[in-house]
Structure 1
Amino acid sequence: METFSSKDLALQAQKKILSRMASKSMVNMFIDETSSEILDELYRVSKEYTKNKSESQKVIKNLIKIAVKIGVLFRHNRFSPEELVLAQDFKSKLHNGAMTAISFYEVEFTFEKDVLPDILMECKNLLLRLVEKHLTPKSHGRIQHVFNHFADPEMLCQLYDPKGSLWPHLQKICHGLNKLIDEGKL
């Protein structure tokens, strides 16, 4: 018996189309202004740290693609109850990471080089488990790429250096994270 489902086909097409439209103008349709500003600052941090514009664009584009695809899966109720528990664990861990990032910024001399990378790796692993049955290996690679990129301890050390060139970006990122937390979005 053939297992054709127009609903599955439509979902697949929607994910494919959205992944090809991960441009700045399309981001504004799916991501709120504050999140967009945070993404812009993350791009600037990446670009300044790596000195590689195309790599920085790619990592942000991958981040957007993953966020949009997961949003589509969620809106189409594709996650099982067990996966929804993983999603909640991911959200909680991400919130914890945001609070830690903000705390390191706001309280002098509290930054610890290994803490944020550990949190980001835990987030990555939870997210990979969540989408394991739903996204392609290419999308899994995008998740790996994004989290590995931003969990770079040396980049984080430069970001959290109050005298460093990345510090102004951190200020804007933390301001945005605080706003998302206050609005209950993170």
Structure 2
Amino acid sequence: MDDENNNSTLGGGPINAQSLALRIQKKVASKMSNKNMAKIFIDETSGRLLDNLYKLVKDYSGSKKLAESILNDIIKVIVKIGILVKNEQLSSDELKLCNDFRQTFHLFAKSALSFYEIEYTFDQKHLHNLLVSCQASMHSIIKFHLTDKSKNRVDNVFNFFSDITFLEDIFKNHKYSTQMQVIVDDARKLVDDGLL
């Protein structure tokens, strides 16, 4: 076999440059996706919101490791989905699921803001159900594109934030009121700007 033929196969099959490039992008994104890298690509308000979610998770759980894991998982999943969208890897049905996810997550954000801002309206079950719906949509979007490790990242994030006890504590326990107010202020700005 000559060199040209040797260069055209990888593992016995033809090289698909687009597929290879996509795999490399996802691998690089996975290695580079952390809080500091995210700040390069996101606006100041979103960065501050992520920082304060990290602090809330750390204070609530008492675990810096868990807070770092949750934050890294959020960033990695967002970056990988961004790569899929940018490279037009999602089918029309999956793009519709992305839109459904955005609408449900927007409803979650608006509901959470309303529950925080208006006394005696809090409904943790409603927030829980919206997050569970978001989680299911996310799994449908990534099912054929991302690894089991990425799917576990989705579960790690949504299982933590949709936990009824967590929701109850952060909305009703005054211990978290200062952190929640900062998160609510940034989330309100992102919702008003159409970014969340």
| Range class of TM-score, shorter chain | over 0.9
CA distance in 1, matches of 2:86, 2:40: 15
Q: Which amino acid aligns with 1:153?
A: I
Q: 1:13 aligns with which of 4, 7, 24?
A: 24
Q: 1:113 aligns with which of 116, 124, 135?
A: 124
CA distance in 2, matches of 1:129, 1:93: 14
CA distance in 2, matches of 1:113, 1:24: 28
CA distance in 2, matches of 1:145, 1:74: 22
Aligned CA distance change for structure 1 residues 3 and 114 (closer, same or farther; 3 Å): farther
Q: 2:38 aligns with which of 16, 27, 34?
A: 27
How many residues get paired?
185
Q: Which amino acid aligns with 1:10?
A: A
Partner SS for 1:123:
helix
Using CA pairs below 8 Å that are at least 6 residues apart, which structure has the higher relative contact order? 1
Partner SS for 1:110:
coil
Partner of 2:185: 175
Q: Identity over aligned residues, as a percent?
A: 37
Partner SS for 1:166:
helix
RMSD: 1.3
Q: CA deviation at 1:4?
A: 2.5
Q: Is the contact made by 2:111 and 2:127 (CA closer than 8 Å) also made in structure 1?
A: yes
Partner of 1:58: 69
CA distance in 2, matches of 1:3, 1:106: 58
Q: Which amino acid aligns with 1:51?
A: G
Partner of 1:46: 57
Q: CA deviation at 1:52?
A: 0.7
Matches within 5 A, 1:128-167: 128-161=139-172, 164-167=174-177
Q: 2:82 aligns with which of 71, 77, 82?
A: 71
Q: Which amino acid aligns with 1:181?
A: V
Q: CA deviation at 1:34?
A: 1.2
Matched, 1:101 2:112: yes
Q: Report the structure number with the largest CA radius of gyration.
A: 2
Normalised by the length of structure 2, the TM-score is: 0.90
Shift >4 Å, 4+ stretches = none
Q: CA deviation at 1:3?
A: 4.6
Q: Which amino acid aligns with 1:172?
A: V
Partner SS for 2:99:
helix
Partner SS for 1:160:
helix
| Structure 2 gap segments, 5+ residues each | 1-11
Q: CA deviation at 1:100?
A: 0.4
Q: 1:123 aligns with which of 134, 138, 162?
A: 134
Q: CA deviation at 1:111?
A: 0.7
Q: 1:36 aligns with which of 30, 38, 47?
A: 47
Normalised by the length of structure 1, the TM-score is: 0.95
